[in-house]
Amino acid sequence: MWFIIIFLTMTIFTIKILHGWQRPSMFPPGPRGLPIVGNILDVKRLVDETKFYSHAWCRLADIYGPIVGLKLGISEPLIIVSGKDAVVEMMGRPEFDGRPDGFIHRFRTGGERRGVLFTDGDIWRDQRRFALRTLKEFGFGKVTMEDIILNDAISLTSTIESLAKLGPITNLYNITSIAVLNSLWTLIAGSRYDLQNPKLTEILSVVNDLTRNSNATGGILTHLPFLRYIIPGLTGFTVLDQRLARMWQFFGSEITRHKQTRTHGEIRDFIDVYLAEMDSKQSNPTVSSFNEEQLIGVVKDLFTAGVETTNNTIGFIITYLVAKQDVQRKVYEEIERVLGKEVLPRTEYKNRLPYLNATIAEVSRLANVGPTSIPHRAMTDSTLLGYKIKKNYTLLANLRSVHMDEQHWGDPKEFRPERFINDKGEYIEDPWLIPFGLGRRKCLGEILARNSVFLFTACLLQKFQFVLSPEHPDPILDGLDGFTIAPPNLSVIAIKRNDCLIFH
């Protein structure tokens, strides 16, 4: 009797495995994979070969075409979308505007879907609309926001000047990250941090570790979440749990401080406005998504997304200009011609600095700080370029494939800012450059990010020439892989512009 039960159980289990292994009709092409683990080993092999997940996606697109279907563990299939036409269509269709709802996507915000990055539906619309409206009221994209950025840029140049007297700077990335964050943190929490603040340095280190040790697929805890019970250490679950707890505590304590110091009728920052919104919703009998846990999730998303991509872009700009001194010279000569040495850069001068804009655009294209979109989820059964995309499939837009398209760019691997300059010497935008994504899920912090990158870069290059320290090898311009791409670790010498300049 027991033999029959065990036999039947194993038979059903085997049939289920084999059925799940089969590729459904009209499923996008891709490597066949293995039962249970699916294409996990295929992806690992490609990443080992190419060193980057985004490079692996491009390799798959070269083999199978613009729509590639992968099965990773027991999670829903992952669809890699490459090439401009396919990416534009996918990101512009509302039925693909959802976000994945796996274990890791809930665990990152206390076990529920919270915040603005990994939510969808009514919660996402309400939280995004509120965040955009509130940040704009506090100067998001306005002159007051510009003044905040400039103040932090000036503080950064002063700090770099002091550090430069001690020799090569090895922690430029950490210094700029706090300066970049202060602009956003002023709006969110109404306060600034000293560039050497140990508390903020620690939390930024946690954010950096989380980003470097994750990728857009969600990792093994998304594909095989039950492994956290069996091998929590090997899967990274133990460390992830500790890091997320530290972040949740950091933001939670900030919100507690706001609640304790609030004065009726006084609105100081984003957190105060959110707390007031929570108070107004208490008298409303309808269920509201505005609560303290949701606030922590929103602040956490604004914090991590706001500092990571902007700071990485600035870091890559310094990296490329250290390696390409001729471009750095041209940028400085333009800044000196338009602004001189004392006039502060402002967005009103942006159109008069075409080569600086072109350089920023070329770094954004070539560095691919955000090489893919944040994962999307199909909200309904649909089709994409003739392939069936079932509800809850995860879709990933391969932005790198657009930025490195040889047919459009001609020489995509070359660092050439001139590709964004027309015959009249004017900066021209190219619709193939989409570092902030497209559609309704486009980055909500685009205005702040663009202004921050422009103003910080202009201020830094107005005051300093950056060169590699003599003992430092040539930088590896590809950077470091993760959920975003980070610039390589550099040791640089910052030379004040009124000192002796040496251009190579």
Q: How many angstroms separate the CA atoms of 339 and 300, rounded?
A: 37
Q: How many angstroms separate the CA atoms of 133 and 37, rounded?
A: 44
For residue 38, list its beta bridge partners: 34, 72
Q: How far, CA to CA in Å, does 326 sit from each of 102, 360, 370? A: 48, 15, 26
Helix (H, G, I), strand (E, B) or coil at 113: coil
Name all contacts of 89-92 with Cβ < 8 Å and 24+ positions apart: 89/384, 89/385, 90/376, 90/384, 90/395, 90/397, 91/373, 91/376, 91/397, 91/437, 91/438, 91/439, 91/441, 92/438, 92/439
For residue 496, list its beta bridge partners: 464
Binding residues for heme: 443
For residues 85-110, b (16+ Cβ closer than 10 Å) or e, as one string?
Answer: ebbbbbbebebbbbbbebbbbebbbb
Rg (CA), the chain: 24
Binding residues: 443
Nearby residues of 337 by Cβ (< 8 Å), 6 or more positions away: none
E-assigned strands of 249-305?
none
With contact defined as beta carbons under 8 Å apart, do 345 and 462 qualify? yes
Q: How many angstroms separate the CA atoms of 93 and 484, rounded?
A: 24
Phi-psi region of 188 (alpha: psi -120 to 50; beta: other; left: phi over 0): alpha
Secondary-structure percent of the chain, ordered helix, strand, coil, rounded to 5: 55, 10, 35
Number of alpha carbons in the 13 Å side-chain half-sphere of residue 276:
14
Nearby residues of 504 by Cβ (< 8 Å), 6 or more positions away: 325, 467
For residue 80, list its beta bridge partners: 68, 396
Helix (H, G, I), strand (E, B) or coil at 129: helix
How, if at all, do strands 78-81 and 67-70 pair? antiparallel
With contact defined as beta carbons under 8 Å apart, do 29 and 64 qualify? yes
Q: How many angstroms separate the CA atoms of 289 and 274, rounded?
A: 11
Phi and psi (nearest 5°) for 260?
Answer: -75, -25
